[in-house]
Amino acid sequence: MQPLSRTTVAILFLATTFQCWAADALSVNPLTRAQQLPLSKTDRIAQELNLGWAPPDLAGEGLRWMGLEGEVPSWEALQGQVIVLQSFRAPSPQIKKVREAIEGLASTDVLFLPVHTPDRAERFDEDKRIKVGLDQIPVLIDEKGELCDRFGFRRKMTNVIIDRRGVVAAVGVRTEAMVDVLQSMLSFSKEEALTKNPSKKKAPESPEYPAHNTEVGSATDRQGEKAPEFSVAQWVGTRPEMKDKTVVIDFWATWCGPCRAAIPHMNELQQAFASDLVCVGVSNENSDAFKKGMSSRQLNKPNTFAYSLALDPSAKMQRHFGVRGIPHCVVISPDGKVRWQGHPARLDSGKLGAIVKAGRGAEAIFTPFWTKKKK
């Protein structure tokens, strides 16, 4: 088997640790729905957090290479190529289809880097490597799961595509759409790509918070101000740990239809940023009214809420924000400042992710999946 080179289409299996660097002033490849893998919203959010960032080193603790001759390739050496990182778990017939689709492109500027997830990683040996059609391909296995967590590689097979500039430009691409997406990225020459080298630029130590929401709704705009001390009369269940976390307060009530409609969206946000976010639904109903509302509207079923709930009959915090219509969300950064206000439907993962990045640094936004399971 030949070692990796910049002039051959190679396939690596990887799963590693990585450090992100920001890619400034760079666009990413928008995918149509037909081009996207059918991932859950939570899994897609975990992947899309990588868009616009440079990838990690391919060497680190917990990595086990198979079939690689020579040194582990650096991203600097690979720059100028379009690179596909594909997750999988052996045995998987799908990995062969992905490989064949990319090889069918017959481009020496495409490098295929599949990723073996930690699931059964210890069982992946030469025999299994041959069975999945990778006997002539270097394989990198992530035994710890840190890289997989960073790239959003979970149970379902998915991928990350890095363009010629060294930036994650597309994620979760269907095998049937792979060639079209790659051809689009190959339309830029190596020379054009190498004039911009974002992978050498680290993320700023203090990322900027996003612009304030201009559509606050029926409330007093407190964005940029210091938030009041979080105070409620009663917690419904366990009080969450808020220290050093981004906090989302959702002012709501059981009788409010639009509030109830926003619950699934709030659940998704909490789950997507679980390690660095605390969402709290705060109702100004008294305990009896709240219990009746939860029961009559069947909100007390298990797993209805993925976030914390609290009661504040005095509406102390609600009055501070001048909330005259619910639902209304307030996002508070770890430094205690109000960073966003508005209707929860307008608080998407992009806006919230930007606030988390700024408050905790780029590396803190990736929710553990494999590493959490191993703790």
Task: Write the pLDDT tens digit of every residue in 129-166.
Answer: 999 988 888 888 999 999 998 899 999 999 999 999 88
What's the predicted TM-score (pTM) here? 0.60
pLDDT at 235 over 90: yes
Residue 330 identity (one-letter amino acid): V
Query: What confidence score (pLDDT) does residue 374 get?
Result: 54
Most confident of 27-31, 204-208, 357-361: 357-361
Fill in the amino acid letter for 350. Answer: G
Helix, strand or coil, per DSSP, at residue 159 = strand
Average pLDDT over residues 324-340: 97
**Which pLDDT belongs to residue 201?**
46
Lowest mean pLDDT segment, chosen from 55-59, 191-195, 258-262: 191-195
* pLDDT above 70: residue 3: no
Average pLDDT over residues 278-287: 98
CATH fold, domain 234-374, is Glutaredoxin (3.40.30)
| Beta carbons of 107 and 9 less than 8 angstroms apart | yes
CATH architecture of structural domain 21-200: 3-Layer(aba) Sandwich (3.40)
Highest mean pLDDT among 33-47, 60-74, 174-188: 174-188
Phi then psi dihedrals of residue 252, to 5 deg: -150, 180
Q: Sorting pLDDT into bands at 50, 70 and 90, what band is 77?
A: confident
CA–CA distance from 36 to each of 30, 201, 321, 366 (Å)? 10, 29, 40, 21
> CA 294 from chain center: how many Å?
32
Neighbour tally for 147: CB within 10 Å: 28
The mean per-residue pLDDT over the stretch 205-223 comes to 88
370: left (phi > 0), else alpha (psi -120 to 50), else beta?
alpha
pLDDT at 294: 98
Task: Decide: 267 and 41 in contact? Cβ < 8 Å.
Answer: no
Determine the pLDDT at residue 107.
86
- Give the sign of the dihedral formed by CA 147, CA 149, CA 153, CA 156: positive
Which of 8-12, 85-89, 123-127, 327-331 comes out lowest in average pLDDT?
8-12
User: In which residue ranges of the chain is CATH 3.40.30.10 found?
Assistant: 21-200, 234-374
